[in-house]
Amino acid sequence: MAEARTEAPSGPANASANRASHVYEFKETAEDAVKQQLAKDAEWAAELITKLITAGGDDAMKPGIVNACEGLAFVHVAKGGLGITLARGSGFVIRKLDQDRFGNSRWSAPVFFTVSQIGFGVALGYQSVDSVLALMSYSSIERFTHDKAVVGTDLGLVTTEGATSGVPAGTFGRTSHMDVQADNTNAVFAYSSSAGLLFNLSVNGTQTWPNRDLNRMLYGDTPLEDVLHGRTATFQEMLPLYRKIADTGRAAVA
């Protein structure tokens, strides 16, 4: 049930007239644990954007990507390998609903998903990878609402607290520069921060699927496509992330 309306981003005075559409309607979730998790996820995602933008060099996430993309996915994956690489993780995706020329934007409520990966080849070590995926089309966003198997190839040596960019969506943690999926209409740019050491040369099968239990707890029987189209209210706990994205977008056009 909707509880309030509030403006998410705070911007320059000359942009105030253009922020009327960037207003969020909030809903409540009855579970305190879920509220805490939403707040934690939003804070983590906002901090990850800051970390990747300030990484420096060619590998840094460019602020303008939040204005250019159709959606953003935030993913945490833990990978380990001793001959066989196994990875498990989770994340959430949000879709941009509108944006003005000042970089102020409004985003959907989050859809949560799970990631698993298995690779066969040469692998040794352990790695934790946090990624922001800039999704350049609606079809690349929608795939997180359905079961989807992606086969990719990992090749790299990533050291503690490394930052990499251009990771295809199916190969979280790959060391590469501004790589995209083969079909540019469904391009996905990924920016990652890793901890640990993993040497990996393997063929991986990556699968993402919706976290049905959590999404049902948040949205009931509402279709996830409706969530991503803004047909349901979001959560106040997500506000710090929305503000961070809007701040980043404004910085890119300042």
Cα–Cα distance for residue pair 218/224, rounded to 1 Å: 11
119-158 pLDDT per residue, tens: 655 555 667 788 899 999 998 898 889 876 454 444 333 3
| Conformation bin of residue 125: beta by default, left when phi > 0, alpha when psi is -120 to 50 | left
Cα–Cα distance for residue pair 24/4, rounded to 1 Å: 8
Q: Which helix (H) or strand (E) holds 35?
A: helix 32-53
Residue 137, CA distances (Å) to 104, 107, 127, 238 in order:
19, 15, 29, 23
Q: Are 210 and 111 in contact (CB under 8 A)?
A: yes
Answer with the residue of higher pLDDT: 251 or 181.
251
Band (28; pLDDT cuts 50, 70, 90): confident
Angle at the Cα of 134 from the Cα atoms of 41 and 183, rounded to 5 degrees: 140
Percent of residues, the chain, with pLDDT higher than 70: 65
**Average pLDDT, whole number, for the chain?**
76
Residue 2, CA distances (Å) to 5, 26, 206, 230, 235 in order:
8, 6, 37, 13, 9
Q: Which helix (H) or strand (E) holds 218?
A: helix 212-219
Secondary structure (DSSP) of 156-204: EEE-TTEEEE---TTSTT--BSS---SSGGG-EEEEEEEEEEEEEEEEE
Band (90; pLDDT cuts 50, 70, 90): very high
Return the closest-CA partner of residue 44 out of 23, 74, 22: 74
Q: Are 91 and 78 in contact (CB under 8 A)?
A: no
CB atoms within 10 A of CB 164: 24
Cα–Cα distance for residue pair 24/107, rounded to 1 Å: 9
Q: What is the predicted pLDDT for the residue at 47? A: 96
The identity of residue 204, as a single letter, is N
Q: What is the predicted pLDDT for the residue at 155? A: 39
Number of domains in the chain: 1
Length of the chain as a residue count: 254
**228-250: average pLDDT:** 96
Q: What is the pTM assigned to this prediction?
A: 0.79
Strands (E) across the chain are located at 2-7, 23-27, 71-99, 105-107, 111-135, 148-158, 162-165, 188-210
Q: What is the predicted pLDDT for the residue at 55? A: 82
Band (170; pLDDT cuts 50, 70, 90): very low
Which residue segment(s) compose the domain that 32 sits in?
A: 2-253
